[in-house]
Structure 1
């Protein structure tokens, strides 16, 4: 600590940051910006990641801002063409367009490709929001508007922000992640009037039974939370449920905090 009468320490101001003594950095900000030599590790630092994250939000918002009313369709990338699940996803994509909605998927193969295919064949807007993964292909051929993301949380924001509801086909961990993200947002009031439809009662029955018989039974959720989603095997019913104007009932506050 400097005592009264001591000389003021050397000081460096870098925007809002003040550096003194051995924390002073050589050169100026412009010098470091324009210097073509030196360590490139800065591109892997958290401040630079913040800029990348910001740019992904900007690109996503810009690409989708003028999208008409839409529904997001989720499902497994491993759903094989020609299977009942694939054919159902094609019919759902087509029916959503016939109902006046654009179709948003994760842009990959399987159920996502099927929903995009149905939307394109019906003459609607087919959107794919891809993600950078080491083991999946790029955007499928039926996507008309595509955006690729590095970060899952940015991509999931786009799914919710630009859709009026979700249709969830049978899927794996990624599909479950997107499903419970949506249910949590509705339950906690972060989004309102957001219908969620699970397609395929045989596939989803085990999960629903577990939610009712374990999660609700042990008081970890309210019985009313089971009304936040619908289960159906009928394409027309799925589209009617997800495109209706009135969404699920209002959320039930968690114990321990006020809504």
Structure 2
């Protein structure tokens, strides 16, 4: 994370070879006296020259690690691969940990959103995408692969439930409040809530998960405060500042995950997800989000993006041969049968297959947690 802390969700790092913090580096050197075969990601090692000079670095890889020249020469002589830091980039392509809201919105209070790392990374993406620079595309690919690796580590063994829905849902609406209650209810059952990480329904679900450890009244007050800034337009700065005010007033909120993309960079990430896996490639982000929702997905009313996510999730469920498709709950009968009739098609697709007992349509958002629990129970083997 931006503060150098390891994630607290279900990861175990005792038996792997990745070093992602200075603390881990010191522990490995002290315990093993060797860095052989290790991968060190984006750790400033300028103060660890003696340790580098005295440790075996055979077959190690140093990804974006600042080192003194003699230390660099020594580890290369050992046979290590050294990928130097890339200057003048608004992001770290070798990062070992996911983003935090504080990291992406750094400088919000001083220069506004336009000067934050999140906005600067989007500007860089727009410029290099237009130039079709293969060097820039390589850096984007390195970054996204590193983010995927960090996300896998964070969620290893963790039951994840996805909440999908439209970005246009405004703060201050009944729909937004309902999505927040949903996120809170799911988090209180012990599930880790994951969303697309943006505004609207996604922000509401992350907000609900953030509110889960607090008394119920906290969410009501937070919703009232946020309603004063309904949307990220016309000012992302004001929209984000309202979210950080909530976080400041009620610290130590619950954890959740946001998986946004700079492909839709005009939509900022929401600050309520404690762990943010932000990608340049939207296809990688979409596939990774759904694939990691091991405990099911709840689909709130949305438009084209949410509709695509329903069938992106249905496809692996349709072809699931082991009888273990993930539960899918669609919320708002009128929306999914009349406005965008995805439910009849989904039901027809599921007929006669294992996924038939893993899909549900409910009228209101408050019914979704119970429906998900029933589908999950049905998915468990008898006995």
Q: 2:185 aligns with which of 69, 85, 95?
A: 95
- Aligned 1:109-124 pairs, distance under 5 A: 109-123=199-213, 124=254
Query: Are 1:136 and 2:266 counterparts?
Result: yes
**Does structure 2 conserve the Cα–Cα contact (< 8 Å) formed by 1:88 and 1:235?**
yes
- Aligned 1:225-240 pairs, distance under 5 A: 227=356, 228-240=358-370
Task: Report the equivalent of 1:211.
Answer: 345
The Cα shift of 1:60 comes to 2.6
Q: 2:305 aligns with which of 135, 158, 174?
A: 174
The Cα shift of 1:111 comes to 0.4
Task: Report the equivalent of 2:148.
Answer: 57
Q: SS in structure 2 opposite 1:119?
A: helix
Q: 1:150 aligns with which of 276, 280, 289?
A: 280
Per the alignment, do residues 237 and 53 of structure 1 end up closer, same or farther by CA in structure 2, a change over 3 Å counting?
Answer: same
* Partner Cα distance (1:181, 1:91) in 2: 26
Q: Which runs of 5+ in 2 are unaligned?
A: 1-82, 85-131, 214-253
Please give the per-residue CA displacement for 1:173-232, whole angstroms capped at 9, x wherever unaligned. 1111111111111011178241000011111112146528xx94xxxx463468352110
**Does structure 1 conserve the Cα–Cα contact (< 8 Å) formed by 2:165 and 2:306?**
yes
Aligned-residue RMSD, C-alpha: 3.2
Per the alignment, do residues 98 and 167 of structure 1 end up closer, same or farther by CA in structure 2, a change over 3 Å counting?
Answer: same
**Does structure 2 conserve the Cα–Cα contact (< 8 Å) formed by 1:64 and 1:162?**
no
Task: Report the equivalent of 1:9.
Answer: none
Please give the per-residue CA displacement for 1:230-255, whole angstroms capped at 9, x wherever unaligned. 1102445311222323339xxxxxxx
Task: Report the equivalent of 2:114.
Answer: none
- Stretch of structure 1 that moved more, 168-177 or 226-235: 226-235
* Partner Cα distance (1:88, 1:79) in 2: 11
**Count of matched residue positions in the alignment of Structure 1 and Structure 2:** 205
Task: Report the equivalent of 1:43.
Answer: 135
Task: Report the equivalent of 1:16.
Answer: none
Per the alignment, do residues 233 and 136 of structure 1 end up closer, same or farther by CA in structure 2, a change over 3 Å counting?
Answer: farther
Q: SS in structure 1 opposite 2:171?
A: coil
**Does structure 2 conserve the Cα–Cα contact (< 8 Å) formed by 1:197 and 1:229?**
yes
Per the alignment, do residues 190 and 91 of structure 1 end up closer, same or farther by CA in structure 2, a change over 3 Å counting?
Answer: farther
Q: Which runs of 5+ in 1 are unaligned?
A: 1-32, 35-39, 249-259
Q: 2:170 aligns with which of 50, 59, 80?
A: 80
* Partner Cα distance (1:130, 1:52) in 2: 14
* Partner Cα distance (1:126, 1:41) in 2: 35
Structure with greater proportional helix content: 2
The Cα shift of 1:51 comes to 4.5
Please give the per-residue CA displacement for 1:50-101, whole angstroms capped at 9, x wherever unaligned. 64553343233234336x3221000000011122221210110011012111
Q: 1:165 aligns with which of 296, 300, 306?
A: 296
Task: Report the equivalent of 1:255.
Answer: none
Per the alignment, do residues 180 and 109 of structure 1 end up closer, same or farther by CA in structure 2, a change over 3 Å counting?
Answer: same
